[in-house]
C-alpha cells in the first residue's frame, strides 16, 4: 500500500495540477470510448474526481466566473456521455459495472436543473431514401461493427464481429467468399492490397473507408470464418413479445431482429444476415440501427403476412406498455409496467415509428414512384397504430412530452377542439374535450411539471350535451333536446364544474379545498366496496391531499387501514405508507410497509419520488420504498445494508435511464437522477453517522463533525429545480440524516427550506405545517441554549422561522398580521440576539412592509430605516430600499405641490396642509435620494439596473429645473424655494462628482445611453460631469463605447455632434499611442457604412433589381480599411458583465471590485479582419443590405445595413428588453419559467440609418406558415388575388370577412414544431414552450410601448430553440394608430400563433406568462421608463421634422409629443387600458389587463379591420 501511495504521488507530481474542467473533459472522452474496460476505468476515475473536491464541482456546475459558457458545455457533454453509458446492454459483469459506475457519477453530479444542462443534441440515425446497399454497408462498418470490434471484451464478441466484417466485405465485393492462400500470406506480411477476386466496386468501397477503419478491418479481407453449427430458426409464433413472463428486452429484440433478418429478401438482406449471425447477440445498438431498415424491407415485400407480423409486434409492445387492459374504449390501466421489458421495448418502438414517419415524409417529397408501394405500406402501418395508445404507453413509460405529442395528434385526428384556433363553430369557446381526454391531458402536464398549462384544461371540456342519446345525429338535434329539456345535463354540468374546480385546487396547492371535494365524493359513494377492488380516484385523491397538506401521520394510518380492507391494492398503498413513514422517522411502521411490498412481489426498487406521485396514470412504483429501505438501514446503523440497498436501487433505475438515453433526453431522465441524488446523499449520511459513532468526543461534538462532512449539501440543493417533486424528498432525506446525527438545528433548517419551497409554489397549507414542524424540532434546544449551533455556522433558526411565518402571512394576503408577526419577533431579545444578521434583515423587511401598508407614520419609519442602516451600513440592499422609500416620499411631495399649484395655493388649503404636517418640500428629499442610491452602488450591483437609472433621472431633472431658474434669475428675482433648488442641484452634483471618482468606472456602463442622451444638459455643472464621465468611458472602454459615440458625432443635430466630437478628440489625445489609430479607423468605418446604407445599386441589364453587388468595386475605400482594430459590434461583445455578488474589493471587503480587479468586457474581443466582397440586397422597400464581417477569431458576423430609418427606436427597444431580461431573471415567478427576450446589437450611425446584427438560425413567421399552406395546396400563385377580391367584397363587415377567410386558411402552425422536432419529443415540447413564453413576453412589452406593424416578416422563429424574436421597431409609440388603416389589435395573436401554443391555446401558459410579465413591468416601471425617457432629450427625427430651432439648451429639443407618448406608456404600466376602443376605467389587475388585451387581440371584429396584407388569417 505504501509503495502504491508513493507511486501515485509521483504520478501526481509529474502530471501537475489539472484544472477540473480539463480533467472532466478528459474523463468524458474515456467514458465515450467503445471499450467497456476503458469506460469502466474512466468512470471510476470520474467518480473519484467528483468526490475529491465537492465544492469545486458545485462551483463548476453553477457556472464559473467568466467561463460559464465553457463550463456549461463541459458539464453538458459529461452528462450526455454518462447517459449513453446506459445504452448498451448489461449482459456481462463488465457492462453491469459500467452501468453502476455511471449511475454513481450521475448521483455525484446530482439532480441538476435541466435548464442548466447544455447537452449536445442526440437524434436517432435517419433512414435515408434510396440508400445504396454499399452506403448502408459503409455506415454499418464504420459506425457500428468497427465500434463492436474495438469494444469487444471477450473472444465470442470479437469472433462475431469478425464474421460480420467478413460477410459485409464479401457482399460489397472487396473480397470473394473464399480467398487464396497466397493472399492470406501476403496479408500476414503487411500487404494492404485487396485479395484476388475483388471487384472494381469493392476497390472503390474499400478506398472510401477512413484509414483507421481500414486498418482495423483489414483482417476481414482474408479471414475464413464459418458457423460451426446451423443457427436455430426463429420462432414462427407471433408476436414474439410475450407478457407476462416473456423474455428480457435484449432477448426479445434479438429474437425479433433475427426473425426480420431471416425473412428479408431486399438488396440489404445479406447485410442483415451478416449481423444476425453473431453481432446481434452482442450489440443492441447495431440491432436498433438496422431495425427500421429491416422493418422497411418487410413492409416493402409483397407478403401481407410479414406486414401483419410487424404490426402485431408493435401493438403487443404498446399494449403492454400502456396497460394490459387497454382498449380504445377502456382507459383503465394497470398501475405498474411489466419489468424492464415494457419500457425499453416501448422506447424502441417509439424510435422506430419516428424513423418510419421521417422516411415516409421524405419519400413524399422525393416523389419516387419506385418507393410508392413501400410508402403506402408504411403509412398503413402508422395509421393502424392508435395515437391514444401511443400516448398512454409513453406516459406510463415516463415520457410525458412524447405522450403529449401523441395525444394532441390523436385529438386533432378526432376533430377535438384543443385550442381557440380549432373551435367548432357550433360550440362556444371552451368546448371540445371529453372527461377522459381532459383527465389524460392533466396527467401529461403533471408529468411535465406544467401547472400553468393545467389551468387551460377546464376551458377545453365539452359543453354538456347528450351526444350518446338515441336519435341525436347532429348539433341541431342536441340544441332541440336542450331547449325541450333544459335540465337534461344539469347534473353533468355541475359535476364538470366540480371536477374543474378540483383540478384547479390540486394544482394551486389548495389541498384543504381539494380534500373537501374528495370527502364529499366518498360520502356519496357509500361504504359497500369489494375487497378485491382497487382504489378509485376519490380515494387516491384523498391520500394525495393528505400528503400535500403534510398530514403524514394521517396518511400512514389511512394506508395501514386500507391495506387490511383492500388487499388487491396493498402494494400501492404500502408505497404510499412507506413515503409517509420514512419522512416521519417511524421505522417500525416503515418496516411493516416494506414487508407488505415484499409479500406482494412489487418492484420496490425503482420509481419516482415526490409529493402526489401515487395514484396517477404515470410513474413506476417503488421509488419511495427504495429510499425507505436505504434510510431504514441507516437508522439501524447498518453500513453494509445501506450499500446493498443503494446498489439494488441503482440497479433498478438502469432501465428508465436506458430508455432516456435511447431518446437522448436529460429531462426524461431527471426524475430518475433525482433518486440517484438521494442515494448518494444517503451514503454520505451513513459515513457521517459512522464518523459520529467513532468520535471520541462527546455526542454534541460528534454531531458537529458529522454535519461538517455534509457541507456541500446546500450548494447541491441550489443546483436542483425549484420544484416540490425534486426538492421535497431531498429535504426529507436530509432531515432524517440530521435527526440521526442529533443535529436539531440543521433538521429545523430543512423544515424552513421546505416551508419556503411550499410558499413559493403556492402551497400555503403545507408551508404552515412545515413551520410548525420546524418549531417542534427546536423544542428543548432553545430552552437549554438559544445560541446553540450545529457546527455548520448557522445559528438557531428561531428568527428565520419568524420571518418565514411573516412572509407566509404576507403571501396569504394577511399583510397586517405579517407586520405584527415580524414586529413581535424583533421585540423578543432572545430571538434577535441568537441571530443578529437575520434580525437586521427582518428590520429592513418591517420598514418596507410598513411603508407599503401605511402601518407606521413617516417619522417612525425614518427611525426604523436609521436603525437598519446603522446595522447594515455597507449593504447595497439596505441603502437601495432606503433610497426607494425616500424616492417615494419625493414623488409624493412633488405630486402634492403640483396639486397645490393647480388649485391656486389658497390660504385655507395651505393652512390645512400645515395642520396635518404634510407641507414638506420635494426638494428636501433630493439629496438623500441621490446619496442613498449612489451609496448602494458602492456595495453591490444587484439593483444597479434600477438604482443607477433612477439616480440619473432625479439628478438630471433637478439640474434642468435649476438651469431654468438660473435663466429666470437673469430676468426676475427667484423665490426662496427656487434658490434652494439651485443650491441643491450644485450640492448633489458635487456629491456625485465625488462618488464618480470612487465608483469603479464599469458601474456607469449600463447608463451609457442615458448619459449620452443628456449630452446637452442645460445645467453647466451637470453637463460638465456628464462630459467627463463619457470621456472616461471612451478612454477606458474604447472598443465598446466608440461605436456609440462615433455615431453621435455624426448626428444631424449640429450642437450634439460637436459635443460628442469634442469628447472623442479629448479621449484620443489621452489614449496610448497604440490605441489612437482605433479612433481614426472607427470614424472612417462609420462614414463608409453610412454610404453603404444609402447606396442603391444600379438595375441589371433587363431592368431587374440587383440582388448583390461587389464591395470591392463599389466601396474600395471600405475594403482597404480592413484589417483594423475596430471591434466586431456583436451584442455579446457590447454588453458589459458586472461582478458576481460574491466578488469583493481586495482592499475593502465591503466595496465592489475595482476596475483592475474586474473586467467588464472580454479582453479577447474579435476585431474586423475583413469584409466579404459580396453584399446582398434585400427585396424590401428600403433595399437594406446584408454585410458579412470576418472577425479576427475566424467567425463570420452578418449585419443589416438599413437606410432611411431612425434606428434609435430599435436601439432603445433593445436597451429596454436588456433591462427587462435582468428584471425577469430576478423575479421568482419569472425565473422559475426562465422568461427572457432575445436581443441583438443595434448601432445607429446617424438619425436616419444604421446597422443591425443579423439574428442567426431564424426564419420569418410568414415564410413558415406560407410554406405549410403551399404544402397543403392552399397557397398558389392565384391565392393573393383571390384574397384581395374577397376582401374588397366583404371589408364592410369585418367579422364576416374574418369568418370567410379563416374557412380557406385553417390553422397549421403546430406542424412546424412537429416537422422540426417530431423525433425529439422533449425538444419539441421545450421549443413550443419557449415559443409560448417569448411570444407572451413580447406581446406584453409590445403593448406597453405601443409597438405596431407586427406582420409575419417582423416576427422571426428560432429554428433551434423555438424562440419568438421580434425585429423592426420603427412602428413604435402607437404609430400603428396613425396609419392609413389603423391597427386595431394590441399585438399579434392570430389563429396560427394560437395554434402554435398547443393544447389550451392562449389559456394556461400564454396567459400566465402575460400576467407575470405585466407584474414585472409594473413593479419596475420607474427603471424601465428611464430607458424610454431618453426620447424626450434625444427626440426622434420624425418628431423634429419641420423644426428649425437649433439653439443651446435642451428645452427647445424636447417635444411635448415625446412626453405624451411616455405618459401613455406610464398609464399602461399602471394597468390602464390605452388604445383603440379603450374606455375610461380604473386600473386593472395584471390578470384583468392580460385577459382584456388578449380579448382585444383575438377579436374577429378587430382582426377584420386590420390592413389586408397584415394577413390576420396567418
> Tens digit of pLDDT for each residue in 558-589?
999 888 888 888 888 999 999 999 998 899 99
Q: Which of 299-313, 467-481, 1122-1136 has the lowest mean pLDDT?
A: 467-481
Does position 223 have pLDDT exceeding 60, yes or no?
yes
3-state class of 1121 per DSSP? Answer: coil
pLDDT tens by residue, 793-819: 678 888 999 999 999 999 998 999 999
**Residue that is written with C-alpha cell 396527467 in the block:** 443
Per-residue pLDDT, 926: 92
- As a whole number of angstroms, the distance between CA 1020 and CA 1207 comes to 30
Buried b (16+ CB within 10 A) or exposed e, 219-253: ebbbbebeeeeeeeebeeebbbbebeebebbbebb
Does position 944 have pLDDT exceeding 80, yes or no?
yes
Phi/psi-derived region of residue 229, left when phi > 0, alpha when psi is between -120 and 50, beta in every other case? beta
Task: Give the DSSP H/E element, type plus range, for residue 1246.
Answer: strand 1242-1246
pLDDT band at 490 (very low <50, low <70, confident <90, very high): low
Residues 6+ apart with CB under 8 A from 894: 922
Cis amide prior to 253 (ω within 30 degrees): no
Contact 1384, 1505 (CB under 8 A): yes
- As a whole number of angstroms, the distance between CA 917 and CA 920 comes to 8
Contact 80, 119 (CB under 8 A): yes
pLDDT band at 1052 (very low <50, low <70, confident <90, very high): confident
Question: Can you say whether the dihedral through the CA atoms of 787, 788, 789, 794 is positive or negative?
Answer: negative
Higher-confidence position of 168 and 763: 168
pLDDT tens by residue, 1354-1400: 999 999 999 999 999 988 888 888 888 999 999 999 999 999 998 88
Q: Which of 243-247, 792-796, 857-861, 1115-1119 has the lowest mean pLDDT?
A: 243-247
pLDDT tens by residue, 517-530: 888 888 877 666 66
Q: What integer is the mean pLDDT of 136-160?
A: 89
Per-residue pLDDT, 368: 81
- As a whole number of angstroms, the distance between CA 464 and CA 475 comes to 12
**Residue that is written with C-alpha cell 389658497 in the block:** 906
Does position 329 have pLDDT exceeding 50, yes or no?
no
Contact 345, 241 (CB under 8 A): yes
Per-residue pLDDT, 327: 46
Task: Give the DSSP H/E element, type plus range, for residue 1366.
Answer: strand 1364-1366
Does position 671 have pLDDT exceeding 50, yes or no?
yes
- As a whole number of angstroms, the distance between CA 598 and CA 626 comes to 12
**Residue that is written with C-alpha cell 463605447 in the block:** 1041
Q: Which of 220-234, 1111-1125, 1198-1212 has the lowest mean pLDDT?
A: 220-234
pLDDT band at 1438 (very low <50, low <70, confident <90, very high): low
Does position 1427 have pLDDT exceeding 90, yes or no?
no
Per-residue pLDDT, 594: 92
Per-residue pLDDT, 1434: 64
Does position 230 have pLDDT exceeding 90, yes or no?
no
- As a whole number of angstroms, the distance between CA 614 and CA 1270 comes to 47
Does position 492 have pLDDT exceeding 70, yes or no?
no
- As a whole number of angstroms, the distance between CA 963 and CA 1019 comes to 5
Task: Give the DSSP H/E element, type plus range, for residue 647.
Answer: helix 639-652
Per-residue pLDDT, 188: 67
Per-residue pLDDT, 910: 55
Query: CB atoms < 10 A from the CB of 427, how many?
Result: 14
pLDDT band at 269 (very low <50, low <70, confident <90, very high): very high
Q: What integer is the mean pLDDT of 1234-1261?
A: 93
Phi/psi-derived region of residue 1262, left when phi > 0, alpha when psi is between -120 and 50, beta in every other case? alpha
Per-residue pLDDT, 206: 93
In this structure, the strands spanning 1249-1253 and 1196-1203 are antiparallel
Query: CB atoms < 10 A from the CB of 302, how many?
Result: 9
Q: How big, in percent rounded to 5, are the helix, strand and coil portions of the chain?
A: 65, 5, 30
pLDDT tens by residue, 384-396: 999 999 999 999 8
Contact 1340, 1247 (CB under 8 A): no
Per-residue pLDDT, 511: 80
Phi/psi-derived region of residue 365, left when phi > 0, alpha when psi is between -120 and 50, beta in every other case? alpha
- As a whole number of angstroms, the distance between CA 172 and CA 267 comes to 11
3-state class of 1258 per DSSP? Answer: strand
Does position 717 have pLDDT exceeding 60, yes or no?
yes
Q: What integer is the mean pLDDT of 64-81?
A: 71
CA distances from 942 to 62, 879, 930, 1007, 1232 (A): 18, 12, 17, 15, 18
Cis amide prior to 371 (ω within 30 degrees): no
Q: What integer is the mean pLDDT of 364-392?
A: 90
**Number of alpha helices (DSSP H) and beta strands (DSSP E) in the chain:** 74, 10
CA distances from 126 to 208, 358, 1325 (A): 21, 8, 21
Per-residue pLDDT, 912: 54
**Average pLDDT across the chain, whole number:** 84
Per-residue pLDDT, 712: 83
pLDDT band at 1083 (very low <50, low <70, confident <90, very high): very high
- The CA-to-CA distance between both ends of the chain, in Å, stands at 74
- As a whole number of angstroms, the distance between CA 752 and CA 647 comes to 31
Q: Which of 130-139, 544-553, 690-699, 1493-1502 has the lowest mean pLDDT?
A: 690-699
Highest mean pLDDT among 850-864, 899-913, 1261-1275: 1261-1275
pLDDT tens by residue, 1027-1051: 999 999 999 999 999 999 998 999 8
Contact 1187, 1201 (CB under 8 A): yes
DSSP string for residues in 1414-1455 = HHHHHHTHHHHHHHHTHHHHS--HHHHTT-----SSSGGG--
CA nearest neighbour of 1345 among 1489, 1463, 1497: 1463
Q: What integer is the mean pLDDT of 262-267?
A: 91
Contact 717, 733 (CB under 8 A): no
pLDDT tens by residue, 1449-1502: 444 444 577 778 888 888 888 888 765 555 556 788 999 999 999 999 999 999
Per-residue pLDDT, 70: 62
Long-range contact pairs involving 1268-1274 (C-beta distance under 8 Å, separation at least 24): 1268/1308, 1268/1309, 1268/1311, 1268/1312, 1269/1305, 1269/1308, 1272/1308, 1274/1304, 1274/1305
Does position 467 have pLDDT exceeding 80, yes or no?
no
Q: What integer is the mean pLDDT of 367-394?
A: 91
Q: What integer is the mean pLDDT of 935-957?
A: 91
CA nearest neighbour of 571 among 518, 612, 535: 535
Strands (DSSP E) found in 1154-1195: 1168-1171, 1174-1177, 1185-1191
Burial class (CB in 10 A: 0-12, 13-18, 19+), 41: middle
CA nearest neighbour of 589 among 611, 563, 556: 556
pLDDT band at 1440 (very low <50, low <70, confident <90, very high): low
Amino acid at each position: 500500500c505504501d509503495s502504491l501511495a508513493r507511486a501515485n504521488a509521483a504520478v501526481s507530481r509529474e502530471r501537475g495540477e489539472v484544472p477540473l474542467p480539463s480533467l472532466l473533459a478528459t474523463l468524458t472522452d474515456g467514458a465515450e470510448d467503445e471499450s467497456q474496460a476503458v469506460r469502466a476505468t474512466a468512470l471510476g476515475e470520474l467518480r473519484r474526481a467528483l468526490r475529491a473536491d465537492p465544492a469545486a464541482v458545485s462551483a463548476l456546475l453553477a457556472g464559473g466566473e467568466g467561463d460559464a459558457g465553457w463550463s456549461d458545455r463541459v458539464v453538458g457533454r459529461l452528462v450526455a456521455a454518462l447517459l449513453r453509458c446506459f445504452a448498451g446492454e448489461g449482459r456481462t459483469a463488465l457492462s453491469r459495472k459500467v452501468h453502476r459506475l455511471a449511475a454513481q457519477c450521475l448521483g455525484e453530479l446530482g439532480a441538476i436543473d435541466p435548464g442548466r444542462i447544455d447537452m449536445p443534441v442526440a437524434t436517432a440515425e435517419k433512414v435515408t431514401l434510396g440508400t445504396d446497399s454499399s452506403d448502408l454497408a459503409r455506415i454499418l462498418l464504420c459506425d457500428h461493427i468497427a465500434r463492436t470490434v474495438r469494444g469487444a471484451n471477450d473472444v465470442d464478441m470479437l469472433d462475431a464481429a469478425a464474421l460480420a466484417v467478413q460477410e459485409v466485405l464479401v457482399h460489397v465485393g472487396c473480397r470473394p467468399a473464399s480467398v487464396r492462400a497466397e493472399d492470406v500470406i501476403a496479408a500476414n506480411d503487411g500487404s494492404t492490397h485487396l485479395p484476388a477476386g475483388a471487384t472494381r466496386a469493392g476497390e472503390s468501397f474499400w478506398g472510401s473507408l477512413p484509414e483507421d477503419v481500414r486498418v482495423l478491418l483489414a483482417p476481414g479481407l482474408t479471414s475464413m470464418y464459418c458457423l460451426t453449427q446451423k443457427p436455430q430458426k426463429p420462432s414462427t409464433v407471433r408476436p414474439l413479445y410475450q407478457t407476462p413472463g416473456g423474455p428480457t428486452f435484449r432477448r426479445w429484440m434479438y429474437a425479433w431482429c433475427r426473425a426480420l433478418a431471416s425473412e428479408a429478401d431486399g438488396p440489404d438482406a445479406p447485410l442483415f444476415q451478416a449481423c444476425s449471425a453473431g453481432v446481434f447477440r452482442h450489440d443492441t445498438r447495431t440491432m436498433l440501427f438496422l431495425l427500421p431498415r429491416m422493418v422497411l424491407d418487410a413492409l416493402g415485400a409483397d407478403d401481407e403476412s410479414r406486414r401483419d407480423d410487424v404490426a402485431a409486434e408493435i401493438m403487443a409492445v404498446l399494449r403492454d406498455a400502456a396497460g394490459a387492459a387497454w382498449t380504445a374504449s377502456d382507459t383503465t390501466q394497470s398501475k405498474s409496467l411489466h419489468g424492464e421489458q415494457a419500457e425499453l421495448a416501448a422506447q424502441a418502438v417509439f424510435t422506430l415509428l419516428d424513423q418510419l414517419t421521417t422516411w415516409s415524409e421524405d419519400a413524399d417529397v422525393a416523389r419516387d414512384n419506385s418507393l410508392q408501394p413501400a410508402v403506402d405500406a408504411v403509412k398503413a402501418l402508422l395509421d393502424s397504430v392508435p395515437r391514444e395508445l401511443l400516448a398512454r404507453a409513453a406516459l406510463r413509460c415516463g415520457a410525458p412530452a412524447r405522450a403529449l405529442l401523441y395525444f394532441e395528434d390523436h385529438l386533432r385526428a378526432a376533430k377535438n377542439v384543443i385550442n381557440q384556433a380549432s373551435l367548432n363553430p357550433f360550440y362556444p369557446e371552451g368546448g371540445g374535450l371529453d372527461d377522459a381526454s381532459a383527465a389524460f391531458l392533466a396527467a401529461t402536464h403533471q408529468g411535465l411539471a406544467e401547472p400553468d398549462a393545467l389551468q387551460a384544461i377546464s376551458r377545453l371540456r365539452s359543453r354538456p350535451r347528450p351526444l350518446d342519446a338515441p336519435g341525436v345525429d347532429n348539433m341541431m338535434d342536441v340544441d332541440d333536446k336542450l331547449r325541450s329539456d333544459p335540465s337534461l345535463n344539469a347534473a353533468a354540468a355541475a359535476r364538470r364544474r366540480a371536477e374543474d374546480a378540483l383540478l384547479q385546487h390540486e394544482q394551486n396547492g389548495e389541498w384543504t379545498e381539494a380534500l373537501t371535494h374528495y370527502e364529499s365524493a366518498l360520502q356519496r359513494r357509500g361504504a359497500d366496496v369489494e375487497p378485491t377492488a382497487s382504489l378509485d380516484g376519490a380515494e387516491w385523491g384523498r391520500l394525495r391531499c393528505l400528503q400535500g397538506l403534510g398530514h403524514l401521520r394521517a396518511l400512514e394510518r389511512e394506508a395501514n387501514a386500507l391495506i387490511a380492507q383492500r388487499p388487491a391494492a396493498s402494494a400501492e398503498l404500502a408505497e404510499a405508507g412507506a413515503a409517509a413513514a420514512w419522512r416521519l422517522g417511524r421505522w417500525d411502521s416503515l418496516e411493516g410497509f416494506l414487508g407488505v411490498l415484499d409479500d406482494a412481489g412489487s418492484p420496490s426498487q425503482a420509481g419516482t419520488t415526490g409529493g402526489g406521485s401515487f395514484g396517477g396514470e404515470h410513474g413506476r412504483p417503488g421509488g419511495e420504498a427504495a429510499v425507505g429501505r436505504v434510510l431504514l438501514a441507516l437508522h439501524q446503523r447498518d453500513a453494509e445494508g445501506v450499500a446493498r440497498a443503494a446498489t439494488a436501487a441503482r440497479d433498478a433505475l438502469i432501465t428508465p435511464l436506458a430508455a432516456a438515453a435511447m431518446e437522448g433526453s436529460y429531462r426524461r431522465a431527471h426524475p430518475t437522477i433525482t433518486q440517484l441524488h438521494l442515494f448518494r446523499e444517503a451514503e454520505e449520511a451513513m459515513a457521517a453517522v459512522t464518523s459520529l459513532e467513532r468520535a471520541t468526543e462527546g455526542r454534541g461534538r460528534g454531531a458537529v463533525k458529522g454535519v461538517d462532512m455534509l457541507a456541500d449539501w446546500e450548494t447541491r440543493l441550489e443546483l436542483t429545480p425549484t420544484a416540490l417533486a425534486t426538492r421535497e424528498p431531498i429535504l426529507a432525506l436530509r432531515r432524517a440524516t440530521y435527526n440521526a446525527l442529533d443535529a436539531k438545528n440543521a433538521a429545523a433548517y430543512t423544515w424552513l427550506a421546505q416551508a419556503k419551497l411550499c410558499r413559493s409554489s403556492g402551497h400555503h397549507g403545507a408551508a404552515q405545517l412545515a413551520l410548525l414542524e420546524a418549531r417542534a424540532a427546536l423544542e428543548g434546544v432553545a430552552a437549554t441554549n438559544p445560541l446553540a449551533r450545529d457546527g455548520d455556522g448557522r445559528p438557531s433558526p428561531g428568527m428565520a422561522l419568524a420571518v418565514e411565518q411573516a412572509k407566509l402571512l404576507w403571501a396569504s394576503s394577511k399583510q397586517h398580521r405579517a407586520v405584527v408577526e415580524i414586529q413581535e419577533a424583533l421585540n423578543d431579545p432572545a430571538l434577535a440576539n441568537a441571530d443578529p444578521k437575520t434580525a437586521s434583515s427582518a428590520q429592513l423587511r418591517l420598514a418596507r412592509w410598513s411603508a407599503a401598508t401605511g402601518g407606521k407614520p413617516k417619522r417612525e419609519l425614518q427611525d426604523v430605516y436609521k436603525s437598519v442602516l446603522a446595522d447594515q451600513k455597507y449593504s447595497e440592499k439596505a441603502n437601495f430600499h432606503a433610497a426607494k422609500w425616500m424616492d417615494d416620499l419625493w414623488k409624493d411631495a412633488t405630486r402634492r405641490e403640483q396639486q397645490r399649484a393647480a388649485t391656486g395655493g389658497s390660504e385655507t388649503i395651505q393652512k390645512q396642509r400645515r395642520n396635518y404636517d404634510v407641507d414638506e418640500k420635494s426638494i428636501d428629499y433630493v439629496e438623500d435620494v441621490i446619496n442613498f442610491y449612489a451609496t448602494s452602488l458602492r456595495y453591490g450591483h444587484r439593483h444597479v439596473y434600477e438604482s443607477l437609472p433612477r439616480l440619473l433621472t432625479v439628478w438630471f431633472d433637478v439640474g434642468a429645473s435649476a438651469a431654468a431658474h438660473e435663466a429666470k434669475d437673469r430676468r426676475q428675482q427667484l423665490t426662496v424655494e427656487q434658490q434652494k433648488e439651485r443650491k441643491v442641484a450644485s450640492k448633489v452634483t458635487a456629491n456625485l462628482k465625488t462618488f464618480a471618482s470612487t465608483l469603479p468606472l464599469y458601474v456607469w456602463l449600463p447608463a451609457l445611453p442615458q448619459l449620452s442622451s443628456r449630452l446637452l444638459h442645460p445645467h453647466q455643472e451637470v453637463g460638465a460631469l456628464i462630459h467627463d464621465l463619457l470621456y472616461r468611458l471612451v478612454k477606458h472602454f474604447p472598443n465598446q463605447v466608440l461605436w456609440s459615440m462615433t455615431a453621435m458625432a455624426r448626428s444631424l443635430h449640429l450642437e450634439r455632434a460637436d459635443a460628442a466630437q469634442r469628447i472623442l478628440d479629448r479621449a484620443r489625445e489621452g489614449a496610448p499611442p497604440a490605441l489612437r489609430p482605433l479612433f481614426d479607423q472607427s470614424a472612417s468605418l462609420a462614414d463608409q457604412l453610412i454610404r453603404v446604407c444609402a447606396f442603391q445599386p444600379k438595375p441589371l441589364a433587363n431592368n431587374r433589381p440587383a440582388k448583390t453587388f461587389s464591395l470591392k468595386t463599389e466601396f474600395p475605400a471600405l475594403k482597404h480599411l480592413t484589417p483594423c482594430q475596430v471591434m466586431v459590434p456583436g451584442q455579446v461583445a457590447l454588453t458589459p458583465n458586472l461582478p458576481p455578488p460574491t466578488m469583493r474589493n481586495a482592499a475593502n471587503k465591503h466595496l465592489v471590485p475595482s476596475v483592475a480587479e474586474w473586467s467588464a468586457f472580454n479582453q479577447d474581443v474579435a476585431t474586423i479582419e475583413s469584409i466579404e466582397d459580396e453584399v446582398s440586397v434585400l427585396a424590401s422597400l428600403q433595399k437594406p443590405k446584408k454585410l458579412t464581417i470576418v472577425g479576427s477569431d475566424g467567425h463570420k458576423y452578418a449585419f443589416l445595413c438599413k437606410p432611411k430609418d431612425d434606428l434609435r427606436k430599435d436601439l432603445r427597444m433593445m436597451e429596454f428588453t436588456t433591462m427587462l431580461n435582468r428584471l425577469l431573471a430576478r423575479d421568482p415567478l419569472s425565473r422559475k419559467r426562465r422568461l427572457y427576450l432575445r436581443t441583438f446589437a443595434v448601432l445607429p450611425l446617424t438619425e436616419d440609418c444604421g446597422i443591425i446584427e443579423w439574428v442567426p438560425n431564424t426564419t420569418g413567421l410568414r415564410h413558415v406558415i406560407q410554406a405549410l399552406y403551399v404544402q397543403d395546396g392552399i397557397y398558389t400563385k392565384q391565392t393573393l388575388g383571390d384574397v384581395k377580391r374577397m376582401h374588397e367584397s366583404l371589408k364592410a363587415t369585418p367579422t364576416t370577412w374574418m369568418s370567410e377567410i379563416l374557412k380557406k386558411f385553417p390553422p397549421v402552425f403546430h406542424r412546424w414544431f412537429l416537422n422540426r422536432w417530431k423525433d425529439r419529443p422533449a425538444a419539441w415540447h421545450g421549443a413550443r414552450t419557449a415559443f409560448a413564453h417569448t411570444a407572451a413576453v413580447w406581446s406584453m412589452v409590445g403593448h406597453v410601448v405601443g409597438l405596431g406593424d407586427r406582420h409575419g416578416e417582423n416576427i422571426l422563429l428560432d429554428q433551434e430553440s423555438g424562440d419568438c424574436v421580434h425585429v423592426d421597431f420603427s412602428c413604435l409609440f402607437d404609430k400603428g394608430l396613425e396609419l392609413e388603416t389603423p391597427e386595431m389589435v394590441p399585438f399579434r395573436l392570430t389563429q396560427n400563433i394560437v395554434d402554435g401554443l398547443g393544447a389550451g391555446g392562449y389559456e394556461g401558459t400564454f396567459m400566465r406568462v402575460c400576467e407575470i410579465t405585466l407584474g414585472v413591468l409594473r413593479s419596475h416601471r420607474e427603471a424601465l421608463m428611464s430607458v424610454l425617457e431618453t426620447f424626450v432629450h434625444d427626440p426622434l427625427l420624425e418628431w423634429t421634422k419641420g423644426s428649425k430651432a437649433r439653439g443651446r439648451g435642451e428645452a427647445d429639443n424636447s417635444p411635448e409629443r415625446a412626453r405624451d407618448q411616455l405618459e401613455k406608456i406610464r398609464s399602461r404600466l399602471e394597468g390602464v387600458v390605452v388604445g383603440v376602443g379603450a374606455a375610461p376605467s380604473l386600473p386593472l389587475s395584471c390578470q384583468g389587463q392580460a385577459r382584456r388585451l388578449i380579448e382585444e387581440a383575438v377579436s374577429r371584429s378587430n382582426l377584420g379591420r386590420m390592413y389586408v396584407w397584415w394577413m390576420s388569417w396567418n
